[in-house]
Structure 1
Amino acid sequence: MEFHQLRYFVAAAEELSMSRAAEREHVSQPALSRQVKLLEEELGVPLFDRIKKRIHLTDAGKFFLLKARQLLCDSEISTQQVRERFGGKRRPLRLGSLSPFLDDLIAPAVREFQQRHTNSKVSIFDLPPRAQLDRLRLNELDLGILANLEEREREIFDVRTLSRHKFVAVLPASHRLAHRKSLKLAELKEENYVSLSNTFFPKRREFLMECCAKAGFIPKITAEMDSLPMMLAEIGTGGGVGIMPEHAGKLPHSGCALVSLTSPTIHSELLLVLAKAPQSMELQSLIALIEEGAARL
């Protein structure tokens, strides 16, 4: 098992497309598919179901995705720590983020930071909120970008609100209401719901329950996923309906329709989270650039 195989698998799992994963990793599609196949052969189980030229994670794939992400992140952090401690290298700032905000919030802020601080670097980690919080506690991240925190987490960390984001209903494209421009959440009270897992997204189940309670019903949650791309894939293949930030529509969502919600109007806060500790000038500069970018979103 090699690290490039893990990277290719994670890319394919998040994109749910070998061709998009190959484009993201800057390799040919046959080369990426071959390495994923070799990884499956070494593990002795299929990680993907391949149906009509589309791929879906198997239960083994869903389980291994978390492990693969952890291995890749641990490898990068360990390399940085060795270089800093024994090689005299300056440690980069370590920034955790969520996928939907990488291109229009994080990437511009980091580019501007690198232009202003040519001797400093930023390492970006695409991690779910729970993993970000765990690594912030271990001082393996300098700051994180996430949403929905438990009260005890707010007491531990320095938490700042970056922006508020409107939620939309996400339906299978074949759903009877998919053609609508807007709908009330109560119109979906009889549906099966797909949620993000509390294991990876703190308080997400409770958030969904509270939103539906305001609309006068208790949702029937039949599936919980560990990432937004997997949630979109589950809905797109008929696994149920869900709600998520409108910003998530930038992610690949084949088979899904995003419909505005009029009642109740649902928002969530995007948060910047860091340790309660003195901040370097570089970290202060990066925080300011992220806050400026969020204000423009």
Structure 2
Amino acid sequence: MEIRTLKTFVTVANLKGFTAAARALNTVQPAVSRQISELEQELGVSLFWRSTREVRITAAGEALLREATEILAHEERTRHLVRQTGEGRLGRLRIGFISSAVQPFLPGLVREFSTCFPQVQVSLYEMTAAEQHKALEAGQIDIALSRALPLTASDYFESVELYTDHLVAFLPEGHALASEPEIELFAMSPHPFVLFQREGAPDLFDQVVSACLRAGFSPQTVVQPNSMQAVLTAVGSGLGVTLAPACIRHLNTVGCVSRAVIDVSETIPLQLHFRGDRIEAATRAFVTLLRNRSKDIRKDMELRDCPGGGLAHRARCDQYTE
């Protein structure tokens, strides 16, 4: 039984006539009669009693009418479901993120996305950069808001740069170096360092160590926490100093002060990554939203980090305050 034939049957049954059904279906009466006859032959029963005065449905026809009505309703629901999913209005969206790097803008973006696509289930997963890369590769998340992908990343990954961060010093309150608004990196050399674990963000770890080596010293690492919040907690507890992305100022910095580092030029991009080889409609819709908001995100994040920034960074920020 074809869907088209069932629709014809239900129309004849509801309108109690072949001619009326033909008009409703925008076809001719012989075509309707032919479809009903073929359906009756296929099922081996009569579905209608026909006379010159009326068309009455048989008991077998009544049974088919109940089932056909449910089938057609389910078919319509299925069409709607598939159409909505294909347009990104149904389904799921799994986002991996670095909390310190996205806290100022991600909640607003998710709210905006959910307003436009209320039936898409959004899930958020806080992950390190390395964890996001693995999860994206394995299909466990759809979007990664992370650092630049390693050079070994697969060709099917696509990326959108959102903003560029920079390294600043975080010191315990009352630290000897905290009296200056800007410091030289070598001035931190006698002090113990708290560094984020390399496994979670190898590129960032290597950038920090390389900057120290260029300044003429190797950092004396005493603690290696597995989250940026734990890094700040260790610094605020007086365990050491650190060099970290400016964005972590948005976390709990109790006991810490941040200072610009004059002779550090490393930049740290925050990017959106997704798999271009199998992108779902909901993912594409979120990528489009982020592309449309990227300029505002970049402007807002750079303005947020202007206070206390180094000379070069303040020059970048001036373009927004002139």
Q: Where does 1:235-254 land on structure 2 (aligned, <5 Å)?
A: 235-254=235-254
Shift of 1:148: 4.6
Distance of aligned partners of 1:291 and 1:202 in 2 relative to their CA distance in 1, 3 Å threshold: farther
Shift of 1:232: 0.4
What is the CA–CA distance in structure 2 between the aligned matches of 1:185 and 1:156, rounded to whole Å? Answer: 39
Q: Describe the SS at the equivalent of 1:121.
A: strand
Q: Following TM superposition, where does structure 1 have runs of at least 4 consecutive aligned residues deviating by more than 3 angstroms?
A: 291-294
Q: 1:106 — aligned with what?
A: 106
Q: Describe the SS at the equivalent of 2:253.
A: coil
CA contact (8 A) 1:105 1:293 kept: no
Q: Deviations over 1:81-100 (max 9, x none)?
A: xxxxxxx9x54110011112
Which amino acid counterpart does residue 194 of structure 2 have in structure 1? V
Q: 1:262 — aligned with what?
A: 262
Shift of 1:257: 0.8
Which amino acid counterpart does residue 270 of structure 1 have in structure 2? L
Q: 1:146 — aligned with what?
A: 146
Q: CA RMSD in A?
A: 2.3
Q: Deviations over 1:240-266 (max 9, x none)?
A: 111112111111111111111221233
Which amino acid counterpart does residue 274 of structure 1 have in structure 2? F
CA contact (8 A) 2:92 2:282 kept: no
What is the CA–CA distance in structure 1 between the aligned matches of 2:231 and 2:286, rounded to whole Å? Answer: 31
Task: Give the TM-score normalised by structure 2.
Answer: 0.60
Unaligned runs of 5+ in 2: 1-84, 301-322
Q: Describe the SS at the equivalent of 1:178.
A: helix
Q: Where does 1:177-192 land on structure 2 (aligned, <5 Å)?
A: 177-192=177-192
Shift of 1:107: 1.2
Q: 1:224 — aligned with what?
A: 224
Shift of 1:102: 4.2
Q: Percent identity?
A: 21
CA contact (8 A) 1:171 1:178 kept: yes
Task: Give the TM-score normalised by structure 1.
Answer: 0.65
Q: 2:93 — aligned with what?
A: 93
Which amino acid counterpart does residue 131 of structure 1 have in structure 2? E
* Higher radius of gyration, 1 or 2: 2
CA contact (8 A) 1:148 1:204 kept: no
Shift of 1:153: 2.6
Q: Where does 1:1-297 land on structure 2 (aligned, <5 Å)?
A: 91-153=91-153, 155=155, 157-296=157-296, 297=300
Shift of 1:103: 3.5
Shift of 1:118: 2.8
Q: After the TM superposition, which of the residue ranges 279-288 and 180-189 deviates more from structure 2?
A: 279-288
Q: Describe the SS at the equivalent of 1:253.
A: coil
Which of the pair is proportionally richer in strand?
Answer: 1
Which amino acid counterpart does residue 185 of structure 1 have in structure 2? L
Shift of 1:191: 1.8
Unaligned runs of 5+ in 1: 1-87
Q: After the TM superposition, which of the residue ranges 151-160 and 262-271 deviates more from structure 2?
A: 151-160
Q: Describe the SS at the equivalent of 2:141.
A: coil
Q: Deviations over 1:154-208 (max 9, x none)?
A: 6563233221012210011121011221111121122211111122223333111
Q: After the TM superposition, which of the residue ranges 275-284 and 179-188 deviates more from structure 2?
A: 275-284
CA contact (8 A) 2:171 2:256 kept: yes
Distance of aligned partners of 1:149 and 1:190 in 2 relative to their CA distance in 1, 3 Å threshold: farther
User: How many residue pairs were aligned?
Assistant: 210
Shift of 1:289: 2.1
Shift of 1:269: 0.6
What is the CA–CA distance in structure 2 between the aligned matches of 1:220 and 1:155, rounded to whole Å? Answer: 38
